[in-house]
Chains A and B, each alone.
Chain A
Amino acid sequence: MTGKEPNKDLRSAVRLTPEKEADLTAQLLELADTDVKRCIQCGRCTANCPMAKHMDLVPSRMMWELKNGRASVVLAAGSPWDCLSCFACETRCPRGLNPAGVMEAARLLSIRPAGAPVLTAEDVAKLDPGMPQQAIVAAYRKFSK
């Protein structure tokens, strides 16, 4: 797996009207079911994340963007697809929040509009054998449009 360029300007990649942004943020927060307003930006999620080095948007930044109503930035990032769902971030968050849950919500929200699973059984053989199992399982998750 190759490291992505961190902190590339994800914000400039997205142009949504304020209403659409607010709607997207509300959808993401509802799916994530964690109170991002309680985040105090201590960074323990990023510090604990085994994949943080490979992410373009580290977990603490993701929480920050979401807290400030910019779900589009989270959805434009590759980080949700790097997340291993190991939940180290949730276990060690001093505020009891769940950044991994936000990652999961971002994945769901990205694949929902596609209307079909991003991964089919035939694709598995073609995958990089080093790909984490959690990521494959996540891609098979039940979803609906």
Chain B
Amino acid sequence: MTEFTPYASLIGGAMIGLSAVLLMLWEGRIAGVSGIAGRLLPPYRDGAFLSRLGFVAGIVAAPLLMTWGSGQAIAQTISSNVPLMVVAGLLVGFGSVWGNGCTSGHGVCGLSRLSPRSMVATATFMATAFVTVFLVRHVIGG
């Protein structure tokens, strides 16, 4: 069980949305993490490497600063099954780049722009994720 946190989730979500809006205002780019992280390694074509590095560094640093600032550990429950997590990472890495977006690029930015492509993409990854969790928790693990 995890606690239902509608207010914190709404506020955190609004912060994610605001970050996406400000990135569009600043340099006209979509705040899609797979697009940004997927271009951290070469080849570099568009001169936006430092921007991407900054954005990723910010995401990585945020929880560390919050932990230091508040003195409280951030609650996380992560599988320590290494082969499972490697496979999950490979699937997420391939799928998000192949589909040109993940939860942020398609799910937040694309849906906000009412992009039909993003609607198809979001419906698809939600569907396979629901089915995967159902199979893992209630068929295989059940």
Whether chain B is bound by chain A comes out as no
Q: Which residues of B contact A (CB under 8 A)?
A: none
Residues of A near any B CB (own CB < 8 A): none
